Structure 1
Amino acid sequence: MKHSAVTDKILSNYREGRKAIAWLIDPDKLADKADFLAQLKIVQRHHLDFIFIGGSLVESNGTEEIIATIKQIDTTIPVILFPGNASQFTPNADAILFLSLISGRNPEFLIGQHVTVAPLLAKSKMEVLPTGYMLVDGGVTTSVNYISQTIPLPNNKPEIALATALAGSFLGLKYFYLDAGSGAQVPVSSSIIQAIKSQIDAPLIVGGGLNTLDKVKSSFKAGADVVVIGNGAEKNLSLLTEVLEYVHVLNLSLNIN
């Protein structure tokens, strides 16, 4: 049986109502290793929960180097692969978001890429997190939209998003990821988050377009369990630290109450 530390952490947070932050790192966007090390040491002091690594189009072979760098600095923050395709797999991460793009109809991203990487996963010690990935219209064509050749869910149609999530739940998926995409003009709407949260008993990850603290607060208030900060942190690391401080205080208040 594979180690379940990441799964245990996500589920314990979920059951106890604690909120979590994931820092999404795209290997192709890390130009300077020294800068990354400095950033990593900063967020380490602010109670970062998870690090996601990947993207829709990762051209470099830097994923393994980034994971090794992270592990040199901190072995307590789980490193989770957020792969755009099977070629981005490396067995050195702690876990993988095994993403099925249930909002689209492209078989490659529903099951095709999964078949390719499954034998490698079976031989690894990596935790597999079966995740229903749902792309939501963020007001601009994103990389995942283009690469996957799928149509995003309407951001103003919570009933469609809910029906999609319910189907994924009935198929046995254990986690759900609502993503407006990197560089989205608007994040996933509160109405969609609320609709899914009201009927799906599973940890809910939300990302894309969350470039202010107020937007992060809105996502959490609507029902997000894990918020993903990627593009916003690339442009302004202080956003990530500000969000981490907010979540830390929020979770402390749960313990007090």
Structure 2
Amino acid sequence: MNPNAIAQSLQSFALTGNKGLAWLIDPDDVRDLIAFQELLISLTEAPIDFILVGGSLVQQRNLDQVIRSIKSVLSDIPVLIFPGNAIQFSELADGILFLSLISGRNPDLLIGQHVTVAPLLAKTTLEVLPTGYMLIDGGNHSSVQYISQTLPLPADKPELMLATALAGKYLGLQYFYMEAGSGAHQPVPASLIKSFKKHIQAPLLVGGGLRDLTAVKTAYQAGADVVVIGNAAASNPGLLHEIGDFLTTIRISSN
């Protein structure tokens, strides 16, 4: 695999205006490996560009097992670690979103956990993607907010989000992940996505609270380069196929 393949793919989405789809899997939700394999098989035709694995807590210590299962069925899709802390690490993945929680003020998630895992990453071939992680208020107290012990950015203050994103850019972060948290009542507002893309030329992933195709379309139309589907896919795997059909349609029309 090209050592910069994931970065090039993300940059391509941002530069061309094409849209990407990522599926976020929380290992704690994988309690039956046979059922999980069946779910993976049902999604072999879905045009998923990336699979993210991780979560806020992750108690089961089954990260390697989950990644092996994914690669046994969906071997052509890059698997990225979406870490909530330093112990969420596996050499079996293709890359890692090296997340810095720039929306919060918890030093452990700005740099602390990163120092712990950096020597391990240096010994692997994982593609490391320095990513500014911005938690947006989704109308409820999310798991991310509780675990990270940080306040989310207000959903109605795009200027505060933009100042935060610009700070991340000037610190050298190359990718940005904006989310409202798992199970958010409201997704990231279109106004925040538009403000980001107007001022910052960097790949933007958006997730949290995207439960249906309408919400996904809104995020894409506002400027999201990659939409991330988590809980909604677990309860309705068909949503990934719906999004895939939509993406196929707009890619054909753009050609």
Alignment of 1:1-257 (within 5 A): 3-254=3-254, 256=255
Give unmatched runs, 5+ long, in structure 1.
none
Q: In structure 1, what is the Cα distance between the partners aligned to 2:138 and 2:46? A: 29
Overall identity of the aligned pairs, in %: 55
Letter in 1 for 2:77: I
> TM-score scaled by structure 2?
0.97
User: What secondary structure is seen at the aligned counterpart in 2 of 1:185?
Assistant: coil
CA positional deviation for 1:194: 0.5
Deviations 1:203-227, CA, capped at 9 Å, x for gaps? 0000000001000000000000000
CA positional deviation for 1:69: 1.1
User: What secondary structure is seen at the aligned counterpart in 2 of 1:98?
Assistant: strand
Q: In structure 1, what is the Cα distance between the partners aligned to 2:12 and 2:43? A: 22
Number of equivalences: 254
Q: In structure 2, what is the Cα distance between the partners aligned to 1:251 and 1:114? A: 37
Letter in 1 for 2:201: D
CA positional deviation for 1:247: 1.4
CA contact (8 A) 2:85 2:113 kept: yes
CA positional deviation for 1:148: 0.5
Deviations 1:185-207, CA, capped at 9 Å, x for gaps? 00000010000110001000000
| RMSD (CA atoms) | 1.0
> TM-score scaled by structure 1?
0.96
Give unmatched runs, 5+ long, in structure 2.
none
Deviations 1:19-54, CA, capped at 9 Å, x for gaps? 011000001111222222222122220211110000
Deviations 1:147-174, CA, capped at 9 Å, x for gaps? 1100000001101001100110011100
